[in-house]
């Protein structure tokens, strides 16, 4: 098990190095002089040279990469071209709101999605299943900005129960997390259902019944744990997507998160911020994948012990 985790970690480092090469190359492949772009059209030659030095664009390509890598490892991503604040501070301020929103949205949608999926699988073909699956298809296909606007209209404007945006109190989390999690819950419900239906047809489920295991035990002990094996992967993927910050939901609810930071930095061509964000998203994904692999081994002894 330890060897398994260490091997995966080694792979993770390799992936991150590759990503760093892409991120590093991204600025250098831009047409024109990125230093001039960042410094602005009115900058003097000295200003541009100063910016170039700050961005690490001097010397041979190898020296530049070595410089970039050592800066990155020390957590120094330079300064934002727009605000002149350190990039780390910019991203740090936006990271926690996105993380909290993601955790809450993932939390409820995972519980809800799994429960609905299992219920549908157990009551396959009956009204509970059909209702749940109609809802799930709606959840997947309903655009999140529209759901967000409807929720604001009902709960904030008409009823006045919840704020329309911002992240001041726990009440601000309710609407964005519902909007963000709806799609995830729908995907997970459908996925869990199909995994559950597959597992329910397995021979070992029949064996459990032949032993006289009560139906509850058949479902929770024998079927669900096997059905969860593919679902775990799905949860990890969804979590990774949400951690990148949802541009749509954060915009609709004026949420000060990474999604909006990304939009802002792209429209301002704030390259240092864009670079750091790409690296952050990749790291998040790779780490989540690592966690998923470990969880996978936990639920599936065949992977753990091989």
Partner 1 sequence: MPLPTSSAPPGKYPSVSIGPAPLLEVRGLSVMFGSGLDSVRAVRALDLDVRSGETVAIVGESGSGKSVTSLSITRLIDHAGGRIVSGRIGFTDRDGHLHDLATETPEAMRRLRGPELAMVFQEPMTSLNPVLRVGEQIAEAVMLHQNVGRDSAMAEAKRMLERVRIPEAARQLTRYPFQLSGGMRQRVMIAIALSCRPRFLIADEPTTALDVTVQAQVLRLMASLQRELGMGLMFITHDMGVVAEIADRVVVMRNGEKVEEGVAERIFDAPEHPYTQTLLAAVPALGSLAAQNLPIPFEVPNAPKPRPQDTVRGAPVLEVRDLVTRFDVRRGLFGRLVGRIHAVEHVSFDLRPGETLAVVGESGCGKSTTGRSIIRLEQPQNGTIHLAGRDVTRLDGTTEKVLHRAVQYVFQDPFASLDPRLTVGFSIAEPIRAHRLLTGAAVEQRVQALLEQVGLSARHAGRYPHELSGGQRQRVCIARALASEPRVIIADEAVAALDVSIRAQVVNLMMDLQARLGVAYLFISHDMAVVERIAHRVAVMYLGQIVEIGPRQAVMGDPHHAYTRRLLQAVPVPDPRRRWREQEVDDTEVPSPLRAIGDLPRLEPLVEVGPDHFVARHRVGGLY
Tokens in use for 257? Answer: 């998160």
Q: Calculate the CA 216 to chain-centre distance.
A: 34
What gap in Å lies between CA 251 and CA 204, rounded to an integer?
A: 49
Interface residue with partner 1 among 45, 73, 159, 305 (CB under 8 A) is 305
- For the bound state, the minimum distance from the C-beta of residue 205 to partner 1, rounded and expressed in Å, comes to 8
Q: Which of 83, 81, 64 is nearest to 20 (CA)?
A: 64
For partner 1, the closer of residues 11 and 166 by Cβ is 11
Phi/psi at 79 (5° precision): -110, 150
45 near partner 1 (CB under 8 A): no
209 near partner 1 (CB under 8 A): yes
Interface residue with partner 1 among 22, 161, 204, 220 (CB under 8 A) is 204
Bridge-partner residues for 86, per DSSP?
A: 79
Angle at 188 between CA 182 and CA 194, to 5 degrees: 140
Which residue's entry shows tokens 């492949």?
29
302 near partner 1 (CB under 8 A): yes
For partner 1, the closer of residues 46 and 302 by Cβ is 302
What gap in Å lies between CA 269 and CA 54, rounded to an integer?
A: 16
Using the 8-state DSSP alphabet, how is residue 155 labeled? Answer: I
String of contacts with partner 1 for each residue 80-109, x by CB under 8 A = ------------------------------
For partner 1, the closer of residues 29 and 210 by Cβ is 210
202 near partner 1 (CB under 8 A): yes
For partner 1, the closer of residues 6 and 66 by Cβ is 6
Bridge-partner residues for 79, per DSSP?
A: 86
String of contacts with partner 1 for each residue 211-250, x by CB under 8 A = xxxxx-----xx--xx------------------------
Interface region with partner 1, contact rule CB under 8 A, candidates 54-62, 81-89, 170-178, 198-206: 198-206
13 near partner 1 (CB under 8 A): no
- For the bound state, the minimum distance from the C-beta of residue 300 to partner 1, rounded and expressed in Å, comes to 6
For partner 1, the closer of residues 162 and 290 by Cβ is 290
- For the bound state, the minimum distance from the C-beta of residue 198 to partner 1, rounded and expressed in Å, comes to 13
Instruction: Find the radius of gyration of the CA atoms of the chain.
Output: 24
| CA-to-CA separations, 174 to 35, 164, 180, 181, 217, in angstroms, rounded | 43, 10, 10, 11, 35
79: three-class secondary structure by DSSP: strand
42 near partner 1 (CB under 8 A): no
Phi/psi at 226 (5° precision): -70, -35
Tokens in use for 50? Answer: 């100063």
Phi/psi at 86 (5° precision): -60, 140
Q: Give me the residues that bind partner 1 (CB under 8 A), please.
A: 3, 6-7, 10, 202-204, 206-215, 221-222, 225-226, 299-302, 305
């Amino acid at each position: 098990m330890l060897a398994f985790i260490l091997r995966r970690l080694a792979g993770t480092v390799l992936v991150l190095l590759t990503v760093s090469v892409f991120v590093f190359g991204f600025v250098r492949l831009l047409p024109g002089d990125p230093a001039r772009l960042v410094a602005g059209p009115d900058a003097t030659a000295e200003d541009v040279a100063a910016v170039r030095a700050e961005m690490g664009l001097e010397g041979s390509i190898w020296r530049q990469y070595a410089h970039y890598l050592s800066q990155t490892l020390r957590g120094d991503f330079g300064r934002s071209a727009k605000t002149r604040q350190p990039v780390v501070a910019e991203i740090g301020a936006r990271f926690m709101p996105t993380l909290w929103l993601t955790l809450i949205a993932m939390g409820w949608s995972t519980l809800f999605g799994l429960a609905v999926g299992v219920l549908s699988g157990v009551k396959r073909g009956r009204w509970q299943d059909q209702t749940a699956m109609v809802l799930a298809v709606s959840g997947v296909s309903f655009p999140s900005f529209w759901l967000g606007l409807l929720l604001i209209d009902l709960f904030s404007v008409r009823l006045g129960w919840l704020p329309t945006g911002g992240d001041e109190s726990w009440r601000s989390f309710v609407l964005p997390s519902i909007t963000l999690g709806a799609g995830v819950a729908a995907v997970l419900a459908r996925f869990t259902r199909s995994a559950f239906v597959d597992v329910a047809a397995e021979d070992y489920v029949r064996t459990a019944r032949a032993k006289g295991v009560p139906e509850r035990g058949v479902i929770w002990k024998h079927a669900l744990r096997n059905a969860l094996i593919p679902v775990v992967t799905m949860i990890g993927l969804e979590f990774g997507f949400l951690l990148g910050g949802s541009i749509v939901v954060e915009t609709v609810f004026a949420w000060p998160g990474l999604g909006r930071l990304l939009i802002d930095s792209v429209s301002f061509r704030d390259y240092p911020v864009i670079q750091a964000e790409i690296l952050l998203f990749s790291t998040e994904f790779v780490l989540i994948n690592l966690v998923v692999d470990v969880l996978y081994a936990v639920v599936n002894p065949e992977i753990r012990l091989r």
